[in-house]
Amino acid sequence: MLPTERRAEIIQKLEKNNFLELKTLHKELNISMETLRRDVQQLVKDDLVLKEYGGIRINKEQNGESAIERRLDRQLDKKKSIAQKALKEIQDGDCIYLDSGSTTLQIAKGLDSKNNLTIVTNSIPVLIQCMEYGHSLISIGGKIRASEQSLTQFDFLFNFERLNINKGFFCCSGVSAQNGITDYSLEEVETRIRLMNISQQCYLTADSSKINKVVTAKISDAKDFNWFITDDAIDHKDKQALETAGLKVL
């Protein structure tokens, strides 16, 4: 296993467990302690993990959310898979909303294959990605949120009720059949709720690592989304539970 692959696996384990002892990682990864310490040293240098007595934990902002730059390469294959499924749902001439997030950015990267779209977004990376595609771009202006490179609290700048969005693609940090769809930022949640209300079809996009996670603020119940686009690693029982709760899984 390459060092980058090994470090990515360490991050994935930390996202599930929050804190891990070095002796546990040493056994699970089947590598020497010397190699593990080098990996940890690099992850600390990259500002991805925090080293504590006996182990490490994932480095998060004060509200518990990682900055978008740190998330762009995580679960990348799964996010690309999700993007390919989402692109099949988008037709030429659609008016779509792309939420702020690393998964919707992957969707944006494939929109050069579409024609005559109107793209509404609060994501600065999405805007930059789509500028050369020839589509109509609409930014919902407002307060810049640096960690997500997004715009929120836009009421005073944008009369969004005039929009007629055919399909909205939304991100989140937690997906639960019982507790609904959640995210860390109240501002992002407010923005998502308001855009959901003016979208004819609402698509939730999240990789399978976010299933059964519940975080700070609730966006909606599972049934409030028309479709859930995720990767093929979703557990069969989780899929059944979400569909029983009213969320159709693609």
For 125-161, write each residue's pLDDT tens digit. Answer: 888 899 889 999 988 866 655 555 565 555 545 566 7
Q: Which fold has domain 70-249?
A: Rossmann fold (3.40.50)
Check if 3-59 and 70-249 are the same fold: no
Q: How far is CA 74 from CA 17, 24, 102, 171, 247, in A?
A: 16, 22, 9, 15, 25
Task: Please state the domain extents for the chain.
Answer: 3-59, 70-249
Question: In which region does residue 153 sit, left (phi positive, over 0), alpha (psi from -120 to 50) or beta (all else)?
Answer: left
* pLDDT (tens digit per residue) in 53-87: 888 987 765 444 444 445 555 678 889 999 999 99
Q: What is the pTM (predicted TM-score) of this model?
A: 0.69
Please state which CATH number belongs to domain 3-59.
1.10.10.10
pLDDT at residue 224 tops 90:
yes
